[in-house]
Structure 1
Amino acid sequence: MRLPVAFALVLASSIAAAAPRARTDTYLMLGNAAGTQTVAEQADGSVRAEYSYNDRDHGDHIVATWTLDDAGLLVAYRGKGHNYMKAPVDEQFRIAHGKASWKSLDEAGDSANTKAFFLPANAPPEVVGVLARALLKAPDRRLALLPSGEARIEAAGELVVGDGASKTTVTHYRITGLGFSPSSVWLDRNGDTWLASQWVSVVPKGREAQAAKLVAEQDAAENAWHASLAQRIARQPAGDLVIRNARVFDPRDLAVTPGTSVLVRGERIVRVAPDAQIAAPGAEVVDARGRFLMPGLWDNHQHFGGIDGLLDIACGVTSARDLANDPDTFLARVARFDAGTEIGPRVFKAGMIDGSGKYSGPTKMHVDTAEEARHAVDWFADRGYVQIKTYMSIKPELVPLIADLAHARGMRVSGHVPSLMSAEQFVEAGADELQHFNYFVLDLLWPDVKETNRQSERFGKVAEHARDFPPDHPRVRAFLAFLVKHRTVLDPTLGLFEMRFAGDPKQPIPGLETVAPRFPPEMRRALRSASYEAPKGQEAAYREALPVMLALLKAAHDAGVTIVPGTDALAGYLLHHELELYARAGIEPARVLRMATLTSAQVMGADDRLGVIAAGKLADMVLIDGDPTRDIAQVRRVDLVLKGGKVYDPAQIEAALGMAPRDRTQ
């Protein structure tokens, strides 16, 4: 599972800080210890930091040393180790002979500006504290960044944590210029760095219980920022709204009807008819000028955090499914989306359940007994969740019980197929849906591959052997027939596998090539592709894995398997690319748009109000300057978005997130 963009940024553009003494920090994931960071000043005045964590066989391990000048700027830095995907990291920076220069495995450069702060691309989290302290010393509390950009810092309040002898005061700072939104960092009286988020926190050892307090304070600041954007950007028409002269796409029959008007009153569509048949005196009029009007898009695989909601709306995603989150903060965020105090789509909530053990996923709901299973399902059902998502460490014998309990509460069941269980067994036990297309391939490898909670099995074996199963293979045909018979839904997240099997770490994540140049500078670096290194002798298999998976997806579609698009990655923009992959697989673009609108609404039981532009439906629509039924890539050219009748200008959202304007020719 991916990390939310806000904290992925803090880690990926992290920077290390000199500490006056040695200390050890705990790296927490959803409140559970997952790693450590040590920071120690050396005899020569340099600082050495080492950090590592384990997230189901993924995770960084970086050892870095650095030296600072009197202004707190890096004058020398060296970091080595591996990143989250186990790819090697080797970064160097130094100032010499009046010039700053840097080099890593995938970038190099130099600058005459020796008064800028260098941001390593992969560094211990402590580096964020180094940047914060340097900014506090800098004139106007701002610094130029290397390789590019500028950072600013402002204080956001103080918090007393602990009690008795352990009581201390930490100051909250917010740094802008690193990503789409301000990044939080805390400094205590000793100058030590504390970092916190709903997913990941790095705090001094022994202070783990305080992380939740920091998150709560950060949430208040972030919520105020979101509320101000929502007030400024979301626009509710004063009366009726008419969209005229549109080419309206209907996913029911794939028709595109020109010269059409849509009358919206409040949050609902009142009428859809030829332009001449709709008269609405006094209504606000949007002249579509022949542009393409379609129902709002769906992303069926998200994990909301940070600015994901803003990215979704900017890209025309008006409905989404969250497939695992921290319920303490997630439920409040969905409530803000619904209330309009934060910009975001309609969210269909899925609660994640996993068993305990070494490979347990990032959830607070661990289940090892029947009674625990009953409690977990009831807890989610009582809070409006519509789906249960299982994970890889669930005991296979508990799956039928979980499915029965969920179905009795009117909930769907999906998930990662538990380890030691095949996809067919998972479906026969009651699952309605499979997350991630690797489980399609893993079923073809059963029973030779069983322990799928291990990265080497779950991903490595798929990359090595996908090419052994072309669409006409007997096992493929049998499995497709099985899925059709059981009406099993597939949530493929193919973009994720393109990134991991066919990505280039020197380049942006596939699908972001034309978008990433418009992102803030540090976001561009943070969103480089994360790919597995092919074992020696398996290079050709890795190259061929994605094309075969595309062919298998097309075979699944042709066989009648229901497919719903999702990303499990950067919100909004990668949903567009996911749709492009389906078209690359050979699926007709109009049918791909149906999957991302009506089919998604049908799967989630929401087609009574969503999925088509028709009278009585909710006014969730996207105006596109192009025709994605002819060229699916034109789904990116979003000009206007409506969610529940509220109007959003994507350009305005992107500007608020520090993005450069879109090239209108793209």
Structure 2
Amino acid sequence: MNRPLRSAAHSSNTLAALAIFAASAHAQPATQRWLVLNHGTDAGELVVTSRGDSATARWVYTDRQRGTRTEARYAMGTNGLPVSAEARPVLADGSTGPVNESIALTGDSLRFTSLGMTRTIARTATEFVRLRGGTPWEQAALARALIARPTRSARVNGNSTMRANIVADTLLRANGATQRVRLVMVTTDSSALPTGTWLDERGQLFATEVQWFMTVQPRAVPFMPAMRTIELRWRMAEARRLADKVTTPHKGTVVFRNGNLFDADKGVMVPNTTVVTRNDRIISVGPAASVATPDGATVIDATGKTIMPGMWEMHAHLFAAPFGVAQLSQGLTTARDLASDPDLAVMLRDSEKKGALAAPRYILAGFMEGPLKWRGPSGSLVSTEAQAREWVARYDSLGYKQIKVYNVVHPDLLPTIASEAKKRGMRLSGHIPRGMSMEAAIALGYDEIQHGAFFFSNFFQDSLYVPQMRAYSSVAFAVSPTFDVNGAPMTKLLEMLKAKNTVVDGTFSIWIGNMGITDNAARLKSDSAYVTLIRRMHDLGIQMVPGTDEARSATYPRELQMFEAAGIPRAKILQMATIESARVMNDARDYGSVAEGKVADVLLVNGNPLERLSDLSKLETVMRGGRLYDAAKLKRIVMQLGSIGAASAHGEEDPRFYHPH
């Protein structure tokens, strides 16, 4: 039974069961504390206070100039699981704000409140409830309850089933101490992507899963390296099973017969073309009437369709999750990682190369940050010239092609970083560190700038500090609606970029239409400024490359659409997504176009993206390094993975993943 949405004025009635809080106020409270660690360094805490049949979990930590600040209040049923819950923001002064989400079982109904609206549905067979923006304490409670059931499953929130799987049950050893732990992976009907929780011998939260930020018991810290090894080993085994599932077998030779080939080098369509691949290379490209089909080849009829090179995602971030399938499903056969943990990034890169991972080819850029309060989520922190040289050398030894500098690296270290990177033949790019201008960064050796917002914050340096410390993105939101993109200051900056051959990885789909600007009229003016900026860079011949800054690269089609909105011809956009990105990375000898001798990264599109860019959504076949994938099958797998992580790099769907800018 569905009832209409009602205003939040009724929300005070949605948590009737939370009266348990008042009834149990006389009970002696018990308090537990967990650490929140950013790569082993303190970032905040989770504090849970239990009193009778109620619990309050306050989860607060810093992620650059923002972070998670939430307080969840739970009323517990006789089964020890939440029957009602509400979440509130924790304000800067430590007080709590108004309820922004609640859920409650009341009689035969289940009532939700979110974003100021209330919805009531029939309770059905719901056994417990969970918050969309819940805490690790709640996550562990649900995992503990699930594994105690014979079926290891239960109905939750009225219309979904959660399932648990114990993937590790082991005794950890570190520094002479031992600890019994279980790693529980939980999935739901809406997402087959598992959420991991480590439970201790009492079934309590020991640690959250391996990500940039982890919530852990203080006594868990010595065991974290062993836990990371166990979890990553399991996830890589799952990734291998997924790769086997989605890869289309063939005998080594594949023929794309009689398609219209997009010649990325020339930016034109060549009709009636046949492409032959053998193993991981293209061995023949030519007129369909003259290119023979080898015996035993797998033949794909491309008549009336477009054959084109695989596309490049130039601003990705790698996580311990199968997001590579989502990237392949969009025709991305190369992705440049611009900030990930080195052990994970190298593992994923090498696994893909061996065919054990269904994902694009990964190119790695080494992340470098300063050790200040507003640092990004990384263990690659530098505060001296010696540390800077050591990190560049380490990344070089691991096969990284690029160095990315972040927000609070001290500007005085940039000459050392640039010199060391250039000496090793590595590209240098990044954010513009505080205290430095774009002009200075380019003069000191930046080959590339990440994020279009820096083109606006660059001219308002004081605003990064006054009246308070603010992120560059916040400054850009404030000034972009009224900034004159055609004025002399921007013109001078753009001319410098052109003279220095500086590449721009603008991630424009983040900034255009961004809800960080709440006033609609101002947002439209800001959008116009960014579109004008793109057009000006194109007209000046400044090299731009497409990137999303997302784990799944979900907004890649929109990134290309932003270029089209700025008036860039479709042929040029397709070149930017293929051969020009390959040239930027000095990879054009082997990648970026469909040509004899190059690596077999090939797409088949049932349409003509040279006439309609939106036809890229009609992708039928993906070949990455000779491995063949059915695009429809890839998309079905992506749907099964569900919404979790869909915008994970932005932190909008899943708090386990965080936006890197």
Structure 2-normalised TM-score?
0.87
| 1:201-600 alignment, distance < 5 Å | 201-282=214-295, 283-305=297-319, 306-443=321-458, 445-449=459-463, 451=465, 456-498=470-512, 502-503=514-515, 532=516, 534=518, 540-600=521-581
Moved more, 102-111 or 409-418: 102-111
**Alpha-carbon shift at residue 183 of structure 1 (Å):** 1.9
Query: Counterpart in 2 of 1:158?
Result: 169
- Alignment check: 8 A CA contact 2:482 2:526 kept: no
Equivalent of residue 184 in structure 1, options 185, 189, 196:
196
Aligned: 1:81 with 2:89: yes
SS of 2:623 mapped into structure 1: strand
* Aligned residues between the structures: 608
Rounded to whole Å, the distance in 2 between the matches of 1:356 and 1:453 is 23
Aligned: 1:149 with 2:157: no
Q: 1:473-513: CA deviations, max 9, x gaps?
A: 12222211111001000000112224xx633xxxxxxxxxx
User: Given the superposition, is the C-alpha separation of residues 106 and 307 from structure 1 closer, same or farther in structure 2, using an over 3 Å criterion?
Assistant: farther
Moved more, 184-193 or 207-216: 207-216
- Alignment check: 8 A CA contact 1:619 1:643 kept: yes
Q: 1:559-596: CA deviations, max 9, x gaps?
A: 11000111111423321221112212222222111111
**Alpha-carbon shift at residue 73 of structure 1 (Å):** 4.2
**Alpha-carbon shift at residue 356 of structure 1 (Å):** 1.6
The residue identity in structure 2 corresponding to 1:456 is R
**Alpha-carbon shift at residue 422 of structure 1 (Å):** 0.4
SS of 2:144 mapped into structure 1: helix
The residue identity in structure 1 corresponding to 2:447 is D
SS of 1:364 mapped into structure 2: coil
Structure with more contact order per residue of length (Cα contacts < 8 Å, sep ≥ 6): 1
Query: Counterpart in 2 of 1:169?
Result: 180
SS of 2:289 mapped into structure 1: helix
The residue identity in structure 1 corresponding to 2:479 is H
SS of 1:467 mapped into structure 2: coil
Aligned: 1:50 with 2:58: yes
User: What is the percentage of aligned positions where both structures have the same residue?
Assistant: 29
The residue identity in structure 2 corresponding to 1:154 is N
- Alignment check: 8 A CA contact 1:244 1:262 kept: yes
SS of 1:66 mapped into structure 2: strand
User: Given the superposition, is the C-alpha separation of residues 457 and 55 from structure 1 closer, same or farther in structure 2, using an over 3 Å criterion?
Assistant: closer
Equivalent of residue 115 in structure 2, options 87, 105, 109:
105
Rounded to whole Å, the distance in 2 between the matches of 1:325 and 1:248 is 35
The residue identity in structure 2 corresponding to 1:468 is T
SS of 1:60 mapped into structure 2: strand
Moved more, 572-581 or 407-416: 572-581
Task: Give unmatched runs, 5+ long, in structure 1.
Answer: 1-17, 504-531, 662-666
Q: 1:90-114: CA deviations, max 9, x gaps?
A: 1111111311111111664323225
Rounded to whole Å, the distance in 1 between the matches of 2:150 and 2:109 is 21
User: Given the superposition, is the C-alpha separation of residues 281 and 377 from structure 1 closer, same or farther in structure 2, using an over 3 Å criterion?
Assistant: closer
**Alpha-carbon shift at residue 431 of structure 1 (Å):** 0.7
Rounded to whole Å, the distance in 2 between the matches of 1:87 and 1:275 is 67
Query: Counterpart in 1 of 2:209?
Result: 196
The residue identity in structure 2 corresponding to 1:576 is P
**Alpha-carbon shift at residue 146 of structure 1 (Å):** 2.2
SS of 2:571 mapped into structure 1: helix
- Alignment check: 8 A CA contact 1:422 1:450 kept: no
Moved more, 635-644 or 173-182: 173-182
SS of 1:293 mapped into structure 2: strand
- Alignment check: 8 A CA contact 2:262 2:308 kept: yes
Structure with the greater alpha carbon radius of gyration: 2
Rounded to whole Å, the distance in 2 between the matches of 1:331 and 1:163 is 25
